[in-house]
Chain A
Amino acid sequence: MVSIRKSIARGGYRLGCRLLPVLPKWPGELALVKFLNVQLAEELEEGEFDFLEGRVLEIAVIDFRISLRMGKSGARFVRAPASAITDAAIAAKAVDFLAIASGREDPDTLFFHRRLSISGDTELGLTAKNRLDAIDRSRLPQRAQRWLVLIAGALADAAAK
């Protein structure tokens, strides 16, 4: 069972590396901001992401060669317009982003080990990291949490090969 999951993860990962760079990136950006708008509605309401207002944060998944750019307008996260300049960028491999998202790894640890980099406006990037760390993950739907941990684990295993 474990080995099947591993081979699916490895196969999926290879496919992702090939396919994702050539696909348009707006569906990914749209899915990301939609997901965040639903999950972080409370935090948005409380103004905890106001620091992103009118700014552009780029999340670069280096092994998939895609970068998702987002900002905030009013009470919602939005896709960044193509003409807007990136203020800060955070770059890492998919496996490391998932390790952070699922609570497996600490971003500073990844940074020390040069697996995560930050460029542009450091304060914007650091504030985003700290605000994301402050989110109560237990509020995510149980199924999403389980999937996150599962995918992060499978990708970490696949990457270790």
Chain B
Amino acid sequence: MELVCPAGGLPALEAAIDNGADAVYIGFNDDTNARNFGGLNFNDRSALRALERIRSRGRKLFVAINTYAKPGSFSRWQAAVDRAADLSADAMIMADIGLMEYARDKYPKLSLHLSVQASATSVAALEFYRRQFGIRRAVLPRVLSLKQVQQLAAGSRVELEVFGFGSLCIMAEGRCHLSSYVTGESPNLNGVCSPARAVEWRNGANGLETRLNGVLIDRFADNENAGYPTLCKGRFVVDGKRQHALEEPTSLNSMALLPELKAAGIQAIKLEGRQRSPAYVAQVVRTWREAIDEVLQRGADFLVKERWRGTLAKNSEGKQTTLGAYDRPWQ
């Protein structure tokens, strides 16, 4: 099982390598990737340094070009593919079928991984992407239950990668336009759920208030944990009661399912968090490295250690971690 880890900058990449990542995924510093934040990600020079460090330590480098090209700006997305190909990255992570066609035609030897943003949830969908674009691997959306993941793995002819840990969203991956409702920008087209320029935090008499483009989306009492300022995680008055109407700020932690995922033939575990610091990457990667090594050694006897649970809980968004949709027996 390959451990695929996030890096928003060179120190995070080094932290990932030092703590046992098999592969590290990065993005360029523009809207061609889904973590398009100011000051984050790689320019050509730092991407080259990233590649050197990856090669010298015998790991793999993946480049996420996982947003959808906008009309009139396809050339920027094509350029991102060219840049990743120039680097000889080990794989490109993509969702846009136009861009995948470009990559397949121009760089037939380059591995394509289907991004979670493509939201492929059936064997037929995976087969479509494999036949049309020759994808080697697909990252599965987090809407699937463990049973569904197992069924997909049994029928899939491409490698499968699933999410192990990280902030959860409403999980309509590749189809979510909620945030664009208030900001006009969506993760698929602009690479951000909540563009930072639209976010405002203000301490008021009733606690810490979050506004997105002027719209109040949450208010935290002093003792409450905060989350990322996205519309889906806001609290709204529904039927006279203020509540998380769509989604609570939580983090996914599928560590307890590692033996089942391995038995199902899942080839890779992905950790979320290119927007996080090297300190997060170091702690979370080290924890998962130890857990995966233990699963490889002990198989079904694997037990999640309390220390691992504690480290992951501390780094979580919201006050809890959950198995998310993996644990929905009714699905």
Q: Using a CB–CB distance below 8 Å, which chain A residues touch chain B?
A: 48, 51, 100, 103-109, 111-114, 117-119, 121-123, 126-131, 133-137
Chain A contact residues: over half helix, strand or loop, or mixed? helix
Inter-chain contacts of B8 with A (CB < 8 A): 130, 133-134
* B226 and A111 form a contact (CB under 8 A): yes
Q: Are A51 and B202 in contact (CB under 8 A)?
A: no
Decide if B227 touches A112 in the complex (CB within 8 Å): yes
- B314 nearest CB neighbor, chain A only: A109
CB under 8 Å from chain A, chain B span 252-294: 275-280, 282-283
A123-B183 Cα distance, complex, nearest whole Å: 14
If the complex has contacts A130-B39, A134-B9, A136-B10, are A119 and B280 also in contact, measured as CB distance less than 8 A? Answer: no
Interface residues of B, Cβ cutoff 8 Å to A: 8-12, 37-40, 46, 195-197, 199-203, 208, 220, 222, 224-227, 249, 275-280, 282-283, 314-318
CA distance A11 to B316 in the complex (A): 33
A59 to B99, CA, bound (A): 43
Contact A127 B225 (CB under 8 A): no
Contacts A117-B201, A122-B199, A133-B12; A127 near B277 (Cβ below 8 A): no
Q: Are B222 and A119 in contact (CB under 8 A)?
A: no
Bound complex: CA A130 to CA B39 (Å): 5
- B315 near A109: Cβ-Cβ < 8 Å: yes
With A106-B279, A113-B225: A130-B40 Cβ-Cβ less than 8 Å: yes
Which partner residue on chain B sits nearest A49 by CB separation? B39
B280 with A108: CB separation less than 8 A = yes
**A133, B277: Cβ atoms closer than 8 Å:** yes
CA distance A121 to B198 in the complex (A): 9
Q: How far is the CA of A117 from the CA of B222 in the complex (A)?
A: 12
Contact (Cβ within 8 A) B200 A114: no
CB-nearest residue of chain B to A109: B315
Verify B220–A114 contact, CB threshold 8 A. Answer: yes
